[in-house]
Amino acid sequence: MPLGTLDRSPPPFFKQGPSALSRLMVFSALALFLMVADTRFGITQPLRAGVATVLYPVQWLALRPVLAVREAGHYFESLRAAQSQEAAAREKLARQSQRANQVEELAQENERLRQLLALRERITTPAQAAEVLYDAADPYTRKVVIDKGLAQGIEAGSPVIDESGVLGQVTRVHPLISEVTLITDRDQAIPVLNTRTGARSVAFGDSGAGHAGALELRFMAGNADVHEGDLLTTSGVDGIYPAGLPVARVGKVERRADSGFARIYCVPQAQVDGARYVMVLKPVAGLLPARPADLAAPPATGKGARK
């Protein structure tokens, strides 16, 4: 039998109802009616409120994982931002601290240079400025190296001062640098004058005995008129240091009955441990006029002498 001749109608024993199109139209009209009625009169608002109330705990529990993940993301993001801000703040603080230290150091250097220039104005001896490069490597001496040498006209034996007083003496000269032995070196000695009494003496470098970095006035009588706080300046009798330069201040006087000499320790006025800019003076002996010939030569004696 051909397929086109088959009857597609349902068997008569099935109950017949509305067609699918009819149901679609009815339900569509009902849905449209309900939407319009709900919009204008809110007839489903109580039902919606009741369903929302019933479903709220379920909704709250369902949102907890989502909110937890979101809060964790915000926490780690804010933590990274805080860490980056802290690192930037630390870096900025370090730069500001470095700048503050540089400003303070520059202010100190400017003050020392002003004092050095003021001291230079009071000195008539020719002088030239120099910078301390580094300390000498020999641990048994107290020396520094400056950036001036033979090329700049530095001479061995030249006095060296800073803004506070006598620092030392040039003991070795190289073409571009020079070695300066500090006055606190144990092999150094400098004639000094007590400005209060006018008494002359000699200050020697560090002698140890628990007074490192100090000067000592040796061979002073036990009853010598020396007191703590006395200022010692160069006497100028050695032909090296100009007179009147500050050298040290008496810091301690020990008078013992079992010794005829007093132990007098002095604190250097110059920055022997921290000088950076110094002035190199020309030795006083080089500025003195030459001795006359009749004084320089010994008098003639014997038969060849003119009567």
- pLDDT in the model for residue 304: 43
State the pLDDT at residue 5.
56
**pLDDT score for 266:** 92
The three-class DSSP label of residue 24 is: helix
The helix/strand/coil state of 259 is coil
Beta bridge partners of 279: 129, 161
- 148-156 contacts: CB < 8 A, separation 24 or more? 148/176, 148/177, 148/178, 148/280, 149/173, 149/174, 149/175, 149/176, 149/177, 149/178, 150/174, 150/175, 150/176, 151/175, 151/176, 152/128, 153/128, 154/178, 154/280, 155/282, 155/283, 155/286
β-pairing, 231-234 with 189-194?
A: antiparallel
pLDDT of residue 223: 86
* Residue spans of the chain under pLDDT 50: 1, 302-307
β-bridge pairing 215-221 and 200-204: antiparallel
Q: Write the DSSP assignment of 145-178 as a string of letters.
A: EES--GGGT--TT-EEE-SSSEEEEEEEE-SS-E
pLDDT at 8: 56
Q: Into which CATH architecture does domain 127-286 fall?
A: Beta Barrel (2.40)
Q: List the domain boundaries for the chain.
A: 22-122, 127-286
Structure tokens at 30: 């009902």
Q: What is the pLDDT of residue 267?
A: 92
- Taking the chain, what is the end-to-end CA distance rounded to the nearest angstrom? 183
pLDDT of residue 42: 73
Instruction: Give the pLDDT of residue 307.
Output: 39
- Count Cβ atoms below 10 Å from residue 232 Cβ, excluding itself: 31
